[in-house]
């Protein structure tokens, strides 16, 4: 019998409320996952409303297809492809970043150091290079940079050297347990209650899926897709993502003066920041994976004539 992994959607009603849904509007869920946000969004749309969803994960796409909703357009690809949609086509765009619980809990996906499985970590296991394949050839400087930059790991060089030593002595790393063991041997101290492998697994997942680069592309696309008054809602789960979202909204929420042309009118702001929201204590208690979530909201301003 196949195991069933469930997913609790973080900031469910808060995110959909932030979209200020119009019943006949057109919306984009750029990270369908297991469809929590999309289902609630669809419940607020009438027959004229439309929802386009993106996801790399074939399992997520299968869930979306099972909804059988004529208002739903499904795209099996990452949100870097948002730019392929027509300009000004959306009244709201939602991104719920990170990994879904079914991906973490399924050992075959290789995302978690808590369950032994193939060292994969691809959001779409049908495309691209797995972490195990990448680790076969990545040199120590590259490993160090990835672990330090994407994992914010102070023991990055020690871990990189330990991985290289393990490869030379016993061959390539193939499973999550093998990687976690190597990292644990290299990291001598860690915050109470935090597994030594946490930051390294995060780093390799972000790198192998090009998550930060894709996020930056998707945010730029959002400016073109949102109609005036349309909402951008982004839920982040670690500081690297949240920093990119925060800086992007801040950049486009202020007028920019071209110092080379001091008497010219400043460039009009393109977004209006509407603040951030954190999960309530009750939500974190019910779903500990929500504890690091930060939701930021912005509204597209009127496009100058």
Instruction: Show the domains of the chain with their CATH numbers.
Output: 12-101+211-300 (3.40.50.150), 127-208 (1.10.150.170)
Residue 180 has a CB neighbour count (10 Å cut-off) of 21
User: What pLDDT is attached to residue 255?
Assistant: 63
Share of the chain above pLDDT 70, in %: 92
Q: Rg of the Cα trace of the chain? A: 21
User: What pLDDT is attached to residue 256?
Assistant: 53
User: What pLDDT is attached to residue 89?
Assistant: 98
User: What pLDDT is attached to residue 302?
Assistant: 84
User: What pLDDT is attached to residue 3?
Assistant: 45
Instruction: Say which range, 18-22, 82-86, 149-153, 259-263, has the weakest mean pLDDT.
Output: 259-263
User: What pLDDT is attached to residue 4?
Assistant: 46
66-113 pLDDT, tens digit each: 999 999 999 999 999 999 999 999 999 999 997 877 788 788 898 888
Q: What is the mean pLDDT of the segment spanning 7-27?
A: 95
Instruction: Give Cα 124 distance to the centre of its chain.
Output: 13
User: What pLDDT is attached to residue 76?
Assistant: 96
In order of 43, 111, 181, 216, the CA distances from 174 in angstroms are 44, 13, 12, 31
Alpha-carbon distance 88 to 224, whole Å?
6
Alpha-carbon distance 121 to 105, whole Å?
12
Partners of 96 in the beta sheet?
235
Helices (DSSP H) in the chain: which residue ranges?
Answer: 12-18, 36-43, 58-66, 101-105, 131-135, 140-151, 156-170, 176-186, 198-208, 211-225, 239-251, 281-286
Nearest by Cα to 230 from 305, 278, 297: 297
For the chain, give the mean pLDDT. 91
155-168 pLDDT, tens digit each: 999 999 999 999 99
User: What pLDDT is attached to residue 267?
Assistant: 56
User: What pLDDT is attached to residue 189?
Assistant: 75
Sheet with 271-277: list strands edge to edge: 72-75, 50-54, 26-29, 90-96, 226-236, 294-300, 271-277
Q: What is the mean pLDDT of the segment spanning 116-128?
A: 94
Share of the chain above pLDDT 90, in %: 81
User: What pLDDT is attached to residue 188?
Assistant: 79
Whether 237 shows a pLDDT value over 90: the answer reads yes
User: What pLDDT is attached to residue 2?
Assistant: 41
Q: What is the mean pLDDT of the segment spanning 108-123?
A: 91
Give the pLDDT band (50/70/90) at residue 219. very high
User: What pLDDT is attached to residue 254?
Assistant: 79
User: What pLDDT is attached to residue 99?
Assistant: 81
Whether 34 shows a pLDDT value over 70: the answer reads yes
Which structure tokens are listed for 114? Answer: 């808590």
Packing angle, helices 140-151 and 198-208, rounded to 10? 100
Whether 258 shows a pLDDT value over 60: the answer reads no
């Amino acid at each position: 019998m196949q195991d069933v992994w469930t997913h609790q959607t973080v900031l469910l009603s808060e995110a959909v409320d932030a979209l200020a849904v119009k019943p006949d509007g057109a919306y984009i869920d750029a990270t369908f996952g297991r469809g929590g946000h999309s289902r609630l969004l669809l419940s607020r749309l009438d027959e004229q409303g439309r929802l386009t969803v993106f996801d790399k994960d074939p399992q997520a796409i299968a869930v979306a297809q099972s909804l059988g909703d004529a208002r739903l357009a499904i795209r099996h690809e990452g949100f870097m492809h948002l730019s392929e949609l027509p300009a000004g086509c959306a009244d709201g765009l939602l991104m719920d970043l990170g990994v879904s619980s079914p991906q973490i809990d399924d050992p075959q996906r290789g995302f978690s150091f808590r369950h032994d499985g193939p060292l994969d970590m691809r959001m779409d296991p049908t495309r691209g290079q797995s972490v195990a394949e990448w680790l076969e050839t990545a040199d120590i400087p590259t490993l160090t940079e990835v672990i330090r930059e994407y994992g914010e790991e102070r023991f990055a060089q020690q871990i990189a050297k330990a991985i290289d030593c393990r490869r030379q002595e016993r061959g390539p790393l193939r499973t999550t347990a093998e990687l976690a063991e190597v990292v644990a041997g290299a990291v001598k101290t860690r915050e109470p209650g935090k597994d030594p492998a946490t930051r390294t697994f995060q780093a390799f997942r972000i790198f192998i899926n090009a998550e930060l680069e894709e996020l930056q592309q998707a945010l730029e696309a959002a400016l073109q897709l949102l109609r005036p008054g349309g909402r951008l809602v982004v839920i982040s789960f670690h500081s690297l993502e949240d920093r990119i979202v925060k800086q992007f909204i801040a950049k486009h929420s202020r007028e920019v003066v071209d110092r080379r042309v001091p008497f010219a009118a400043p460039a009009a702001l393109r977004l209006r920041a509407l603040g951030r929201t954190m999960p309530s204590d009750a939500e974190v208690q019910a779903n500990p994976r929500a504890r690091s979530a930060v939701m930021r909201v912005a509204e597209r301003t009127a496009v100058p004539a």
